[in-house]
Amino acid sequence: MKSTQSQITAIVGTQWGDEGKGKITDFFAGTSDYVVRFHGGNNAGHTVIVDGNTFKLHLVPSGVIYGKPISVIGNGVVIDPKVLIDEISYLKRKGVDPKLIISDRAHVIMPYHIALDGVLSDHQQNLAAGSTNRGIAPVYADKMFRNGIRMIDLLEPEVFREKLEKGFSFNKKLIETMSGELLNQTIEETYKTYLEYGETLSKYITDISVELFDEYKSGKKILFEGAQGISLDVDHGVYPFTTSSNTATGHISIGTGVNFHKVDRVIGVVKAYLSRVGESPLPSEFLNATADRIRDVGKEYGTTTGRPRRIGWLDLVQIRQAVRVNGLTEIALTKLDVLNNINQISVCVAYTSNNETIKEMPASLTAYRNAEPIYEDLPGWGDLPSSVWEKGYDALPSKLQDYVSFIENEVKCPVRILSVGPQRHETIIR
């Protein structure tokens, strides 16, 4: 199984996250010089299985598992230094000494951001995405308030003290007013602990914009690894049921500080069905024995909570938006094996809402709440031939090929990668 690669490739989610981006990224990472994260924080998660060895990563790009590429955490990412230090230790225990650089401009998740997240969740109740309570929304908000602390500040005790006093007092007031309880944190303790974190991470902290720019000019290959998916993008997703960052490729330049005006290859990862954690309307959701079976076969349970995920049929209204907003040049279609032996596979091609047919994602929450899926029902393909990945696309059952052509035709984007199992080799390139 070979992969051809352009100088700059981006891999992004086209749904609600958990599409299998980790596996696709991992597939390309080995031939890259840099693997870069440009948004989000440790609210994301990738699972990569290499030679039977499972790696679960939340913050470090999954390309780290290879010796060659340098992993980059861009300024658009928000960093919990404790989580990062733990992840570096986890990798070392698994025999990987990470080649890592971290943007000096990335914002730091502070303990009071995590405390505020809990208060915020109580306030938002059902009108927001299920928060992971890791401080992500509060740290991004503090960045916009210009109250934030950046990685470089952890290396400058005086500046850090000034900024901490400002950030701490602001957040303390907010937390205590909203919760009616005293914040159980002190400036002194936070100051000391975070200076230590800064010292531990100092060797990784640098101006990644300059390094990436110079290396790009000298012809190095760069892979951008998106987290979550388009419907969770804070601008283009189903707001307010989104994450707090921009998941779309448009954020690549902002989140790294390099004007990558030409990303030659943009791969959108599409799972052959939908799964969703947390609240929000979900037009193509269904609840029956087939959904239960997809959940079980696809292991659609929350990675940390173990909670069963909601299941839906593939929604092409969502994918149409992902193709347009991200400028996808191709699709990687994953978890096809999970739909084996299902007699009839439905695909949502549009919605009916308020007596109108909708083919594009509505901004209106009323329209999305009222959306009824319009399905095209396609025949299932039964089982896949054994070791089908060795035999290539032409060996796939014709009904599966029809399913692929149907998607391509509806969303006007070619499917070039097909994933038929969790292992790296269980992949077909067309």
> Binding residues for ligand GDP, per CB under 6 A?
13, 17-23, 45-47, 49, 299, 334-335, 337-338, 419-422
What are the phi and psi torsion angles at 64 (to 5°)? -60, -20
Q: Which of 18, 80, 104, 233 is catalytic?
A: 18
Q: Which of 46, 107, 113, 251 is catalytic?
A: 46
Q: Is residue 101 within 8 Å of 202, Cβ to Cβ?
A: no
As a whole number of angstroms, the distance between CA 14 and CA 62 comes to 18
As a whole number of angstroms, the distance between CA 405 and CA 393 comes to 12
Closest distance between ligand GDP and the C-beta of residue 427, in Å? Answer: 8
Closest distance between ligand GDP and the C-beta of residue 24, in Å? Answer: 8
Query: Considering beta carbons, is residue 47 or 200 the nearer one to ligand GDP?
Result: 47
Query: Considering beta carbons, is residue 173 or 425 the nearer one to ligand GDP?
Result: 425
Query: Considering beta carbons, is residue 79 or 270 the nearer one to ligand GDP?
Result: 270
Closest distance between ligand GDP and the C-beta of residue 264, in Å? Answer: 22
As a whole number of angstroms, the distance between CA 229 and CA 213 comes to 26
18 carries an active-site annotation = yes
104 carries an active-site annotation = no
Structure tokens at 318: 């969502």
Q: Is residue 278 within 8 Å of 129, Cβ to Cβ?
A: yes
Q: What angle do CA 61, 310, 76 make, to 5 degrees?
A: 25
Q: Position of tokens 């006007």? A: 412
Which of 73, 172, 42, 189 shows the shortest CA–CA distance to 119? 172
Structural element, H or E, at residue 188: helix 187-201
Closest distance between ligand GDP and the C-beta of residue 47, in Å? Answer: 4
What are the phi and psi torsion angles at 329 (to 5°)? -95, -15
Query: Considering beta carbons, is residue 303 or 352 the nearer one to ligand GDP?
Result: 303
Query: Considering beta carbons, is residue 47 or 253 the nearer one to ligand GDP?
Result: 47
Q: Is residue 224 within 8 Å of 267, Cβ to Cβ?
A: no
Closest distance between ligand GDP and the C-beta of residue 63, in Å? Answer: 13
For residue 114, count other CB atoms closer than 10 A to its CB. 17
Query: Considering beta carbons, is residue 118 or 380 the nearer one to ligand GDP?
Result: 380
User: Judging by beta carbons within 10 Å of its beta carbon (0-12, 13-18, 19+), is residue 121 exposed, middle or buried?
Assistant: middle
Closest distance between ligand GDP and the C-beta of residue 269, in Å? Answer: 6
Around 175, how many Cα atoms within 13 Å sit in the side-chain half-sphere? 21
Query: What residue number has its CB nearest to ligand GDP?
Result: 22
Closest distance between ligand GDP and the C-beta of residue 23, in Å? Answer: 4
As a whole number of angstroms, the distance between CA 136 and CA 344 comes to 40
DSSP 71-84: EEE-TTBEE-HHHH
Q: What sign for the dihedral angle of Cα 336, 337, 339, 343?
A: positive
Structure tokens at 246: 């921009």
Closest distance between ligand GDP and the C-beta of residue 55, in Å? Answer: 10
3-class secondary structure, 8: strand
Query: Considering beta carbons, is residue 13 or 41 the nearer one to ligand GDP?
Result: 13
Beta bridge partners of 57: 46
Query: Considering beta carbons, is residue 164 or 336 the nearer one to ligand GDP?
Result: 336
Active site residues: 18, 46
